[in-house]
């Protein structure tokens, strides 16, 4: 629940409650606020595209990157906004035999 800025009864949690806003985590909500959601989705599409092009499964990619299959599925899914750390991005690019910039560049 969001409260007015001058409400004397508000708590820090009241000011920003991700589940009440429909987000799973504070990180996901921050991605939405900063406008990077579209970039995260595009990154996921590119990972899925290059994985399929290389004939790799989500299971193989997850194993080689040290991540769970669920995590890779969330990253690749356009319905879920899931960003990745730089370390994970580098690992994924290495498995896909791509430069990390290839996954980040605008087409």
**pLDDT tens readout for residues 51-92:** 999 999 999 999 999 999 999 999 999 888 888 999 999 999
- Co-location of 40 and 79 in the same domain: yes
Q: Give residue 73's pLDDT.
A: 94
Predicted TM-score (pTM) of the model is 0.68
- Co-location of 40 and 26 in the same domain: no
In SS3 terms, the chain reads as CCCCCCCCCCCHHHHCCHHHHCCCCHHHHHHHHHCCHHHHHHHHHHHHHHHHHHCCCHHHHHHHHCCCHHHHHHHHCCCCCCCCCHHHHHHHHHHHCCCHHHHHCCC
User: Which residue range forms the structural domain that includes residue 66?
Assistant: 36-104
Report the CATH number at residue 49.
Answer: 1.10.260.40
Number of domains in the chain: 2
- Co-location of 61 and 87 in the same domain: yes
- Co-location of 40 and 2 in the same domain: no
- Co-location of 51 and 98 in the same domain: yes
**pLDDT tens readout for residues 2-48:** 444 455 554 444 444 444 445 556 555 555 566 788 888 899 999 99
- Co-location of 30 and 40 in the same domain: no
Q: Give residue 46's pLDDT.
A: 95
């Amino acid at each position: 629940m969001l409260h007015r800025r001058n409400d004397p009864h508000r708590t820090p949690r009241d000011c920003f409650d991700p589940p009440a806003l429909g987000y799973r985590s504070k990180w996901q909500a921050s991605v939405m606020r900063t406008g990077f959601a579209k970039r995260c989705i595009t990154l996921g599409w590119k990972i899925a595209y290059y994985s399929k092009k290389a004939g790799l499964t989500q299971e193989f990619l997850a194993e080689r990157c040290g991540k769970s299959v669920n995590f890779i599925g969330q990253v690749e899914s356009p319905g879920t906004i899931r960003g990745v750390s730089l370390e994970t991005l580098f690992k994924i690019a290495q498995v896909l035999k791509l430069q990390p910039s290839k996954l980040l560049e605008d087409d």
